Structure 1
Amino acid sequence: MGTIKQRPVVAILVGGGPAPGINSVIGAATIRSILGGCDVIGIQDGFKWIMDGQTSKVKRLSIEDISRIHFSGGSCLGTARANPTQKLEHLDACLTSLNTLGVTRLITIGGDDTAFSALRLEQRAAGRLQVVHVPKTIDNDLDLPHGIPTFGFQTARHIGVELVKSLMVDAETTSRWYFVVTMGRKAGHLALGIGKAAGATLTVIPEEFRQKPLRLKTLVDVLIGAFIKRLNAGRSDGVAVLAEGLVESLAQEDLEGLQDVERDQHGHVRLAEINFGFVLKRAVEKELRSFGIKTTIVEKNIGYELRCADPISFDMEYTRDLGYCAAQFLLDGGNAAMVSIQNGRFIPIPFGDILDPATGRTRVRMVDVESESYVIARRYMIRLAPDDFNQPQGLVRLATTAGLAVDDFRKRFEYLMGKDL
C-alpha cells in the first residue's frame, strides 16, 4: 500500500499597519494555493507569536471561509509591527515555528519593514523556505516602478479626498483654516495625492525641502505666506494638507519632547504620538498675531480613518491579482521576490533589488519633486512663488496685506524661493 503524499503547506501573514485590500490578497492567495494542491494556514498578528516560538496562533484557511472577504477592510489575520530581524534568535524561532507547522512556503503582506523581515527570513532559511512578499501600504512608498501604486493607496486617497472636500466646504462656510495631517512616515505620496485631487489650498511634503534638518520656522513661513496670499485674494479660509513625515525632517529642538516619544520595534518614531497639527497651529497663530492677522485654525489628523476602509474597486481587483500572482509564483517554484504587476503582467522583483546599498534596508520611494505631476500640483497651490517677488505691484499688495514694508516682506519670505531650501 503506497504512502499518501503530504500536501505542501502555505502560510500567510500580515505585518505593519492595516491597508484596504489585505483581505483580498489573503482570499485570492488562499484560493489559488488550494486549487494548486496546497493546504493554507493563516498566521495571526504578523511575526508576533512565531518569533517567540508559539505555534497556536494560526488558523486553517478554506475557500468557503475566505471566498467573500475581498469586499471588507481590515485583516482577518490581524497584523502587528513585531520585528524578527533585531535578533538572530527571533529569525530562528520563526523558522522553527514554521517548520513545526509544516510550512514550506510563506506569503508575507506588508510595507518596507515587513519586506525586510521577509528578506532576512528567507536568507536565514538557506533554501528551506520559499518566500514571496506582497507590497502593502497606504503611504505608497515601497520601491515599485514609477506609476505602480502599493495596494491600499488608492482607497486611502479616495476616502481622504472625500474628507478634505467636506473640510474645504466647512472652511469656506466658517471663514477658517484647517491643517490636515495625513499619514506618510517618510514620503509625501498620500498627502500630495489627497491635496492635489481635492484641490486643497496647498500641500506640504518633506521631499520639497532639500536642507535637512528642516527648521520649524521655514515650515511656518510657508504656511503664513499662503495665508497672506489667500487674504490678498479676498479669502480668509483655506485647507493645508501636511504629510506627517515632515515631523521626521524637523530639527528635534523645534519639537518639544520629541526625544521622549515612543518608537516602534523598527525604530520609527510613533508619529501619532506627536500632535504635529497642534504644534503648527500654535506656531502659525503666534506669527499671524504679530502681523495683526486674526484667524481660526483647526488641526485635523486623518489616517486611521483610511486604513481599514473597504477597498474601492481598483484596490479590490488589484489585490486579488497580487494574491493570485504571489501564490502562483510559489507554485511555480519561485522564491525571494516581491510581487509587482507592470503593464498588466506579473513581474517578480528579486529581494536583492529592493535593498538600498547605502542603508542595508529596503528602499523607500519618495515623491519626485522634479516630475511633471508634482510641478503641476505646485502650480495650482496658493503659496508664495517667485513671480510674487518679481511683480512690483503684486508685491506691494502682499506686503500691505501683511502690514509690512516691501523690503521687510522680502526679508521675511523671499528665502523660501531658494533652490537649496
Structure 2
Amino acid sequence: MRSVAAAALLVLVVVHGPIFVFVDARQGLVFPPISAPQPFISSVSPSLNAFSPVAEMARAEHHRGSHNKTIISVIVASTALGLIILSVICLRIYRKRNTPKSQKDNSHSSAYAKDFVLAPFMGKQSSSKMSSTRVVTFMDYKLLETATNNFRESDILGVGGFGCVYKGLLDNNVYAAVKRLNGESPDSIREFQTEVDLLSKIRHPNIISLLGYSIHGDTRLIVYELMENGSLETQLHGPSHGSALTWYCRIKIALDTARGLEYLHEHCKPQVIHRDLKSSNILLDSNYNSKLSDFGLAVTQGTNKGNIKLSGTLGYVAPEYLLDGKLTDKSDVYAFGVVLLELLLGRRPVEKLAPSQCQSIVTWAMPQLTDRSKLPHIVDPLIRDTMDLKHLYQVAAVAVLCIQPEPSYRPLITDVLHSLVPLVPVELGGTLRITQDKPAVSVQPTES
C-alpha cells in the first residue's frame, strides 16, 4: 500500500519545447499549462531596442541560460523522486518476502472481512464499529483456541450444520459460546457473514449477544454470550424431557420469543425475517430467560427473496414457503406456532411412525387443539392439570392461529405478544397476578 500511495503522489513532468504540463496522478487532472520563464524585457522603448544589437544578443543569451537551468532542475528533481519511489518499492518487496506466514493469514483475514463491511483487523484484539450502538470485537484465533482447550470434544455444547459450538473461558474470566465453522462452502461463508453483520447491529434482551468473531484461514468463529441452560430443544427433548419447565416457565419462554420476533419484524429497519426459528435456536440463560440465536439464514426486507435458496428445518417451514417459495414475516409466525405446540404438548415437531413414515405435530394436533374435551389430555403430562384451563384454551387458540395454512389468516407477532402477556405472572415479565400460594417458577423477569 505504501508503494501505491507513493506512486499516487507522483507528479509526472512532461517537457515539450518551452511549455510544461503537470499531471496530478492522484486526481487524474491536468492543470492549465504553465509557460516557461519568459526572457527579460527591457523597459527601454521599442525604437531604441531596434538599434541595439548587443543588447539583443545579451537578451538571447540570458533566455537560453534560464531555459537550460530550468531543464536541469526538472531532471534532477525527477531523478531524485524516481530514486525515492524505487527505494519504497524495493522495501515493500523485501518486507513481503520476509513476512511470517501467520501475519499473511491475518492479512488475508482482514481483506476477507472488508468484503462484508467489517473493518480491518488490527493486532491481537481490536474493535471495529458496526453501528452507533454496538462494537464488534475481532478476537485472535490463538486466544479462542486456548479458551476452548484447543476445541476439546468434551467442551462441545451443540452441533450445527456447518460446525460445532464450544464452551470457552475468555481472558476476562467470562464464559462464552464459540461457534466454529469449517470449510469454504458458499453457504457457510454467506451464513457467517449474515450472522456477524446482523448481530453486530442488533441489541435486544431477547436476542443473543455477539461478543466477537475471528477468521483464521478457512476457519471462522463467532463468539456469543453463554446461555447456561442450553437450548429449548435440549430442555424439552433431552434427558430431562422438560421436567425443569413448569407451565408458567414455558409460557414465559414463549413470551420472550415473541418479544424477540416482534423486535425483528416491527422495530428493525429494514425488517428482519429470521427464517430458521425452532426450539434449538431458542437459548435459555440460568434464569430461563430465552433469546433467539442463529441468524445465518435471516433475510432483510428488500432482499430479492426469489433468489434465496429454500432453507429451514423440516416441521417448522411454513407451507407457502415450502411449496411456492413465498417468504414473509408470517413464515416466522408459523414457526413460532410450532414452537408453542412443542411447549404445550412436549412433542417433537416431526416424529417417526415407521422407518419411512413421519408425522408432523401440526397434522397430529390440529383436530384436537380445537376440541376442549380432548385438549387437556394431549398436554405434556409434566404440566397437565397445573394451569388454569382458561389459560390453556387461550394458548391453544394462539397456536392454532399461528399454524394456519393460509398466511393471511395468521396474526402478526405483535398480536401474539399481546395475547400472551396476560398469561405470564408479573414477576416473570407479564401482567398476571397470582392469587394462589403456588410459586410460578424461580426465574427472573426479562427486561424489555
Identify the TM-score tier after normalising by the shorter chain: under 0.3
- Per the normalisation by structure 1, the TM-score is 0.21
Q: TM-score, normalised by structure 2?
A: 0.20
> Highest CA radius of gyration, 1 or 2?
2
